[in-house]
Structure 1
Amino acid sequence: MLGGRRMIKNSLLFASIMVLVACTETSEVAIETASDVTSEAAQSTTEVSAPQALESKQPNILFILVDDMGFGDIGYNGSEIATPNLDQMALDGMKLDRNYVYPVCSPTRAALLSGQNPLHMGITGPMDDHASLPSGLKLMPEYFKGLGYQTHMIGKWHLGLTETSAWPINKSFDSHYGFLGGWIDFYTHVFAGGLDWQRDGVSVREEGHATELMTNEAISIIEQRNEQPFLMWLSYNAPHSPLQHPPSYSELNNYPEITDRSVFAEMVTHVDSDIGRVMDSLKEQGILEDTIVIFSSDNGGALGLGASNGDLRGQKRSSLEGGMRVPGLISWAGTIESGSVLTQPIAVHDWLPTLLEASGGDAEVVIDAYGQSMWPAIASGAIIERDTIVMGATHNLGVFEWPLKLVAVEDAESGEQSYNLYNVVDDPTEQQDLAATNPEVVARLIAEIEAMPEPDVSRLEPEFNNSPRYYPSDVPTYDARHIESKEPWAEAAIRDTD
């Protein structure tokens, strides 16, 4: 069980926790048109007729995940960065105004694929190279295979590297093209001195920027599909460091000088352009109206590496809004209302049951489900009475009782804790601490922390640091612990290794 203070004292089990509890009294709405919505919570509901999730034809599903893009890094949230394709997707589909993920990538990915709480698996931060998802854990591709889908994974995995059993090709994906670790050089496809680029479990050396190679693969699968519906997880590593973009994009955003922000911005615009290429492919193949497309970042932006979370406090690794509230979109042409906005909170655990229901499956079949289907809210504006949702990352705790949020931060050296309480609807930038005037709320939410289950670390496969390193590399000296001894990149490229 993930018990609050006890957990904080265990270095493996530190977690920031966010609990979202929908209050029936809240005026938070389900859907509004884009012209009426700001980044604040909206106050009225646009009625939308509920589309049938599956009358005759199962939809394709394309889940696009980008890496380290902050709330303030997308045009429709007021960014100076050019993101015309994502902005158009927001106009054509639904903006997810309260889209919550984990503050770091591996927990987000585990929650997305399993519908479960990764903290219960002991996944509280970037996954160790030796670790993997628990053996026997049923994942999204296996659920969708049961509905007759082809399943494809493209891009960044970061859910197990040194054991072949951990790889996506052995986790019910029919195909995988991309890399296994937390980051790579975009051009050499090298991580820590070893080649990390695979096709279906076999290392391959290919030329080109990683973003473009992933996009080309997605388009190829779309063009060569058969009559089966497909589930595709397109997991870009952009705009995560190292900060590298194609030279042709150097002038696109018109920054006066080269800085981390300017290069990061070009990486965002580059991945936006490639997302546009994928959307164009769906149109050209005549299947746009047969495809649900979801877009999200995996965590908040890293401010020291060029990202922006807009006016939100905090960043990657933080349980403040800037660490977990990220850009999100969903579109299904002809089914989801154009220009609509979901203002109810949606968390990454919700996607598996939501997409199962949207595809005509049973949202209730998800084993040990932590998320719940948000399809009724997306499809027809239904107000969803939220279950408690727990989310986390190292050294921070947070508890939501919507719209209140308790943030508990532990000092890593002293172990001392501090508590702050915010109303994230009235005060989205978390400036006004309400803890002193609401001691009963603070006590109640601390009790929620204490009641959380301990992570079942024994379910990790294999155990941390207890297996030989195996890596499918042409460079036999691979060792992630000695990045500084390898020199395949410029010094500036080695600034963030998770």
Structure 2
Amino acid sequence: MPSVRTLVVLVLAVRSLASCAIGAPGGGEAGRPPNIIVFFADDMGMGDVGAYGSEDIPTPNIDSIAANGVRFTNGYVSCPQCAPSRAALMTGRYQNRFGFEYNYNNAIEEDQADAGLPLTEATIASRLKSVGYTTGVIGKWHLGWDASEKFHPLNRGYDYFFGMLEGSGGYMPREGMALSRSKIFRNHDRVKTEAYLTDVFGDEVVSFIERHKADPFFLYVPFNAPHTPLEATEEYLERAGEHESEKRKIYSAMVISMDDAIGAALEKLRAEGLSDNTMVFFLTDNGGQERQGGDNGIYRAGKGSMYEGGIRVPFVVQWPAVYPAGVSYDAAVTSRDILPTAIGAAGVESKADLRLDGTDITPFLLDAGRDGPHASEPLCWRLAVRPRGPDDIPWAVRLDNWKLVGVKSSQRGGANKSGVELYDLSKDPREEHNVATDHPDVVERLRAAYAAWESEMADPAWELKPAG
């Protein structure tokens, strides 16, 4: 069987010849590795994107990625919390393997120097840079204690950084604010922004594409939108229209701004003839916060939860020269799959010592008859934030259509005294009917799968300050 790289080159060659024959712009260059862009939203749910059924927030540009490519209906992130989710995306590995268990912002003082993405972990940027890609990150970094130079993006495989090192910040320009108080950096230098921050990030993305259009590039765009604080300009608020609450209205305006920024990038790719041979992902770091205006659609709970609303996210990709268009893909995929998919397309030599937990999804998208990339593999989650004991750690495991949720001991009672809940996601995607007592054999099988996974994971690498 030919390799994935060979399949991609063949597809590119055929489509490039067809493009040249009809004089179409933007045809893929046979043999040239694709540009790769990953748009990563912050605290945004399944009910916030038109392609997933949202009726009150227009997202035409995000929707266009789905229309021109693939919409994943079972797309997952590795953690329902900001920083650990980013660590998994950056490495293609379970963040629990290297102790990145939770947000590091509240690490105890003696652990702060080492609270971040371990230097032992290679990033998607460093792997792509090794084969000649120019690499950049524009947006929210949130992968290392802010004062630690060793965790800075420029020391983790990136050639260019514009954005915030911290986990959150305001969106509006602050008149009269001293430069020393700005949270925004260009590489190592603080800068002051003069416009709405999401618009600034969008302009930076377009500028990066302009500067590096001649050679393959990788661009990671982790927007801080629509994470709190809820802030939007009058222009975006007017476009948002009326909503059930003021929070939902502002949240909608923030999403519209982000969608505009994505649209500007997509238009720049088209204008430069780069669209066909650019792989573009959009997904979010975890589910939305409903109390802050987010909407997780039919899925239960949201950010911080092991139920589907916390970990199942909007997840789309396009690569017009290679991937089919307008396809809904129902097999489970994860954010950890992005790194192996990207480096596979780029021609990075695949080695066993990469120790990845993701799978290159390209061959699965090119062959609809194949089982999914994780068909026989358990997908696991754990988030041990300030547990009261070993039984107070929320966890979950999905195998095929079965999902077992470990309920914190402090939250047990009623129907979940046993500490676990079992759901058949094919029949009950809302997770409304716990069928654990009806399928004890499935419960034990999933418990064993989770235990085997957990035995390979590390303990948290830093301790959090006590709550309160």
Give CA deviations for 1:244-285 in whole Å, capped at 9, x if unaligned.
Answer: 112101121321676111111111111111111110111111
Corresponding residue number in structure 2 for 1:390: 380
Task: Give the secondary-structure state (helix, strand or coil) at the position aligned to 2:328.
Answer: strand
The Cα shift of 1:227 comes to 2.9
Structure 1: give runs of 5+ residues left out of the alignment. Answer: 1-47, 467-480, 483-498
Distance 1:365 1:378 in 2: 23
Distance 1:399 1:256 in 2: 36
Alpha carbons of structure 1 residues 365 and 271: separation in structure 2 relative to 1, 3 Å: farther
Distance 1:50 1:430 in 2: 43
Corresponding residue number in structure 2 for 1:84: 60
Alpha carbons of structure 1 residues 439 and 333: separation in structure 2 relative to 1, 3 Å: same
What does residue range 133-212 of structure 1 map to in structure 2 within 5 Å? 133-160=117-144, 161-188=146-173, 194-212=181-199
Task: Give the secondary-structure state (helix, strand or coil) at the position aligned to 1:159.
Answer: coil
State the identity %: 31
Alpha carbons of structure 1 residues 413 and 343: separation in structure 2 relative to 1, 3 Å: closer
Corresponding residue number in structure 2 for 1:411: 409
Give CA deviations for 1:353-401 in whole Å, capped at 9, x if unaligned.
Answer: 1111122333445622111211111233232352333233243111111
What does residue range 408-447 of structure 1 map to in structure 2 within 5 Å? 408-412=406-410, 418-447=419-448
Distance 1:52 1:184 in 2: 42
Task: Give the secondary-structure state (helix, strand or coil) at the position aligned to 1:136.
Answer: coil
Amino acid across the alignment from 2:138: I
Task: Give the secondary-structure state (helix, strand or coil) at the position aligned to 2:437.
Answer: coil
State TM-score, norm by structure 1: 0.78
Distance 1:351 1:242 in 2: 29
Alpha carbons of structure 1 residues 49 and 172: separation in structure 2 relative to 1, 3 Å: closer
Distance 2:270 2:456 in 1: 47
Distance 1:429 1:363 in 2: 38
Alpha carbons of structure 1 residues 139 and 366: separation in structure 2 relative to 1, 3 Å: farther
Amino acid across the alignment from 2:64: Q
Distance 2:173 2:352 in 1: 42
Distance 1:465 1:313 in 2: 27
Alpha carbons of structure 1 residues 287 and 355: separation in structure 2 relative to 1, 3 Å: same
**1:51 and 2:11 are equivalent in the alignment:** yes
Amino acid across the alignment from 1:97: T
Distance 2:425 2:181 in 1: 44
What does residue range 33-432 of structure 1 map to in structure 2 within 5 Å? 51=11, 55-79=30-54, 80-101=56-77, 102-128=79-105, 130=112, 131-160=115-144, 161-188=146-173, 194-225=181-212, 227-255=214-242, 259-364=246-351, 367-381=354-368, 382-384=370-372, 386=374, 387-394=377-384, 395-412=393-410, 418-432=419-433
Task: Give the secondary-structure state (helix, strand or coil) at the position aligned to 2:48.
Answer: coil
Distance 1:103 1:256 in 2: 26
Amino acid across the alignment from 1:132: G
| Pairs aligned (count) | 416
Distance 1:368 1:346 in 2: 18
The Cα shift of 1:145 comes to 1.0
Distance 2:213 2:399 in 1: 46
Structure 2: give runs of 5+ residues left out of the alignment. Answer: 1-7, 14-28, 107-111, 385-392
Alpha carbons of structure 1 residues 89 and 167: separation in structure 2 relative to 1, 3 Å: same
Distance 2:90 2:285 in 1: 13
Give CA deviations for 1:91-127 in whole Å, capped at 9, x if unaligned.
Answer: 1111111110121111111111111110122222222
Give CA deviations for 1:202-240 in whole Å, capped at 9, x if unaligned.
Answer: 222222211111111110011111532000001101011
Distance 1:90 1:271 in 2: 16
Alpha carbons of structure 1 residues 180 and 412: separation in structure 2 relative to 1, 3 Å: farther
The Cα shift of 1:55 comes to 4.5
Distance 2:418 2:456 in 1: 19
Task: Give the secondary-structure state (helix, strand or coil) at the position aligned to 1:357.
Answer: helix
Give CA deviations for 1:415-466 in whole Å, capped at 9, x if unaligned.
Answer: 97621100112211111211011111112222233331264358x5xx5589
Task: Give the secondary-structure state (helix, strand or coil) at the position aligned to 2:239.
Answer: coil
Distance 1:76 1:148 in 2: 34
Distance 1:334 1:116 in 2: 28
Amino acid across the alignment from 2:429: P
Give CA deviations for 1:319-370 in whole Å, capped at 9, x if unaligned.
Answer: 1110011101100123211111111110111111111112233344562211
Amino acid across the alignment from 1:292: M
Is the Cα contact below 8 Å between 2:380 and 2:395 reproduced in 1?
Answer: no
RCO (CA 8 Å, sep 6+): is it higher in 1 or 2?
Answer: 1
Task: Give the secondary-structure state (helix, strand or coil) at the position aligned to 1:144.
Answer: helix
Amino acid across the alignment from 2:221: L
Q: Which has the higher helix share?
A: 2
Distance 2:373 2:37 in 1: 27
Distance 1:349 1:263 in 2: 31
Task: Give the secondary-structure state (helix, strand or coil) at the position aligned to 1:288.
Answer: coil
Distance 1:366 1:348 in 2: 20
Alpha carbons of structure 1 residues 166 and 427: separation in structure 2 relative to 1, 3 Å: same
Task: Give the secondary-structure state (helix, strand or coil) at the position aligned to 1:252.
Answer: helix
The Cα shift of 1:412 comes to 4.1
Distance 1:465 1:311 in 2: 33
The Cα shift of 1:188 comes to 4.4
Amino acid across the alignment from 2:157: S
Amino acid across the alignment from 1:177: F
What does residue range 472-487 of structure 1 map to in structure 2 within 5 Å? none
Is the Cα contact below 8 Å between 1:154 and 1:176 reproduced in 2?
Answer: yes
Amino acid across the alignment from 1:128: N
State TM-score, norm by structure 2: 0.83
Task: Give the secondary-structure state (helix, strand or coil) at the position aligned to 2:158.
Answer: coil
Is the Cα contact below 8 Å between 2:361 and 2:373 reproduced in 1?
Answer: no
Distance 2:273 2:206 in 1: 13
Is the Cα contact below 8 Å between 1:51 and 1:380 reproduced in 2?
Answer: no
Alpha carbons of structure 1 residues 363 and 302: separation in structure 2 relative to 1, 3 Å: farther
Alpha carbons of structure 1 residues 256 and 62: separation in structure 2 relative to 1, 3 Å: closer
Is the Cα contact below 8 Å between 1:62 and 1:234 reproduced in 2?
Answer: yes
Corresponding residue number in structure 1 for 2:109: none
